[in-house]
Structure 1
Amino acid sequence: MAQGMAGQVLEAFDKLSEADRMVLSEEMARTGTENQSFSEGFVPSSVRDLLAGPAFLVYYGPAFLQRMNTDSPVRRLEILAEIYRRARKLWPASSDQAGNFVTLRIDAITIQGKWSSSDPDLLLLRMCSNKQAVLERRPGEDPKTANVKEENTEILFAPDVSDAVDNYGICSQQEMIQQVSHEMLSTGRWYRKVAFAFLRPAQPGEIIVTIVDGKEETVNTAVEGDYVVQANTRWKENYILSYATTSAAYDLATPLELPHGREDAQQLRRDGYRCYRSRTRIRALRATESFLRQHCPSKKFMAKWGTPCSVEVDDIIAAQVSPSSEVTEIYRIEKTVFRETFIPEQR
C-alpha cells in the first residue's frame, strides 16, 4: 500500500501501540474468501485458527499512506487502525461471513481536498449498504453533541482518537475464544435457558446500553434485521441480537401471550415487544479469580460486536458451541441473571 513510503511506514508500524498493531495485522490478513488463509507465519494465528469475516477493502487506502502531506506515518497508521476498528463494530466478525468482504471508502480524507489529522473535523464512518461504508467529514461539528444515533454510524474523531488507549490490554473476542475453548469444552457444563424473554425488531442505528444491577455491561448499535431483547429478570436488561442468533435462540414462529399480572405489560406492548420462549443452550464456566488472572486480567474482554464487556469474579463465562463442537462466541452473563434464567442440562 505504501509503495514509495514503505520504509517510513514500516518503521512507523513498529512504533504503534500493541493494540493498533494487532488490529492492522488481523484485519489486513483476512482474505474475504471462504476456507482460505494466507500462509502460516505471515499472519496472526488468531486469523488462521478461526476464519471469520467480512474482510474489509479500504478503498483509497494506498493513497492515504502515500499522500501524507504534513502528517506523520505513525498518525496515519493510528487512524487506519481506528477505521478498521470502527468498521468491525458495524460488521461484527463471524465465521459464516468469512467468504464476504465490505468496501470502506475513505475518499474524504484522501482525495477530496487537503486534509490533515490536525484538522478539527468530525469524521463519521457510515454504513450505506450491507456491502459498503463511507467516511464523511463534518468540519467544526463537536463529536460529543453530534446526533448520529439514527444512522448505522460510528464516530471517528481524528484529532483525539482515544479508544485505542482505552481498550489497550483488553482481550479480543478471538483471543478469548482461542484461550478458553479447550477449558470450556473439557470442563464446562451444558446449561439450558428456561426463561422466556421479550423481543422486538430493532431500529437500524439504535444504540442499546446493557445495564445490570446499575452497572453498564456493554453498548451495541443495531443494524438492519437485529432484535432488541428485554430479559425477564429483576433488572429487565436490554441487549441486541442479530436475526440469525435470535432465530436460533428463540421460537419466533410461536409468540406467547404476555404473562398475566405484569405491571409493565402495557408498556411492553406499546414498545412493540412480544413474548418468546427461549431454546438457548450454552456451555459455561464460572469466572474464578484464577480464571480471570490467567485469561482476563483487565476484567474486560471484547464482545463479538466490538465493544468491551466487563466481567467480575463469580460471573459466568458462556460459550456458543457449533454442532461440530467449535466455540464460536464467548460472552459474559452476570451471576444473578444466570441463576434466574439457566438450569443444568441433564445429558
Structure 2
Amino acid sequence: MKKIIIMLFSLLSLISISASVIIPQKLLLEDMKPVLQKAKTYEKFKVIYARKAVPGEIIKTYTADGYETQNTAGEGDFVVKNTTDAKEMYILTKEKFEKRYKYLKKLDSKWNIYQPLGKVKAVKVDSALTKRLGVDGIDFSIETSWGEEMTVKKGDLLVSPLDYSEVYRIANKEFYETYKAGK
C-alpha cells in the first residue's frame, strides 16, 4: 500500500510539472517585441519607497494574488517597495533604478520616497496572447531578466520598458494601482 501511495504522489508530481511551462526571457523578448511595439504606453504614477539593498539579501515578491518571484541583491542594488495595497517589494540594479526613479525625500531612517520616471508598453494576458505564446490552457511562468521564475496569470500584464530590454509580469491589481495610460 505504501509503495502504491508513493507511486501515486510521484505520478501526480510529474503531471503537475508537465502542466506548467517556463518561457525563457530570450524567447519571450523575441515573440513579444512586435506585440509590445504596437501596444499602448503606460506611465507609472504612484511614488515608491526604496532603500539600498544588502548584497546577498533575498527579496520575495508577493502581490495581492500571491507569490510572484524572488531575487538576490547584488552590490549597488536597490530594494523597491510599491505603495500599492500589497506593498510588493522587488530588487532593481542601480542602473535600472536610476533610469526609472527620481529622489523626492526621506521617508524614515530606512526608506526614501521616489517619483517614477519610467514608461512601459503593456499587453494584457488573455487567450489570444497565451495562444500566441503556445501556452493556452496551461499554467505558465516566464524567466526573469535575472534568471528566476515569475508566475503569470490570465488578466495580468506583460510589460517592457520602451527599450524592449526585458519582459516581465505585473499583476493586474497592482498594475492598475500604479500605472495610467501615457501620452
- For normalisation by structure 2, the TM-score amounts to 0.84
- Cα pair 1:292 1:299 within 8 Å, conserved: no
Note closer, same or farther for the CA distance 1:236–1:296 as it changes in structure 2 (3 Å cut).
Answer: farther
Q: Does 2:32 match 1:180? A: yes
Distance of 1:292 and 1:219 partners within structure 2: 23
Partner SS state of residue 233, structure 1: coil
- Cα pair 1:199 1:273 within 8 Å, conserved: yes
Q: Does 2:128 match 1:290? A: yes
- Cα pair 1:211 1:238 within 8 Å, conserved: yes
Partner SS state of residue 223, structure 1: coil
Distance of 1:178 and 1:214 partners within structure 2: 28
Distance of 1:296 and 1:341 partners within structure 2: 29
Q: Unpaired runs of 5+ in structure 1?
A: 1-164, 259-268
Distance of 1:179 and 1:214 partners within structure 2: 26
* 1:293-308 superposed matches below 5 A: 293-295=131-133, 297=135, 298-308=139-149
Residue identity in the other structure for 2:179: F
Residue identity in the other structure for 2:33: S
The percent identity for this pair of structures is: 26
* Runs of 4+ deviating beyond 4 Å: none
Deviation at 1:257, TM superposition (A): 5.1
Decide which structure has the larger Cα Rg and report it. 1
Distance of 1:296 and 1:337 partners within structure 2: 26
Residue identity in the other structure for 1:173: Q
Partner SS state of residue 31, structure 2: helix
RMSD (CA atoms): 1.7
1:215 to 63, 66, 83: 66
2:112 to 249, 260, 274: 274
Q: Does 2:156 match 1:318? A: no
Partner SS state of residue 328, structure 1: coil
Distance of 2:51 and 2:89 partners within structure 1: 11
Distance of 2:162 and 2:65 partners within structure 1: 30
Distance of 1:182 and 1:302 partners within structure 2: 19
Note closer, same or farther for the CA distance 1:296–1:320 as it changes in structure 2 (3 Å cut).
Answer: farther
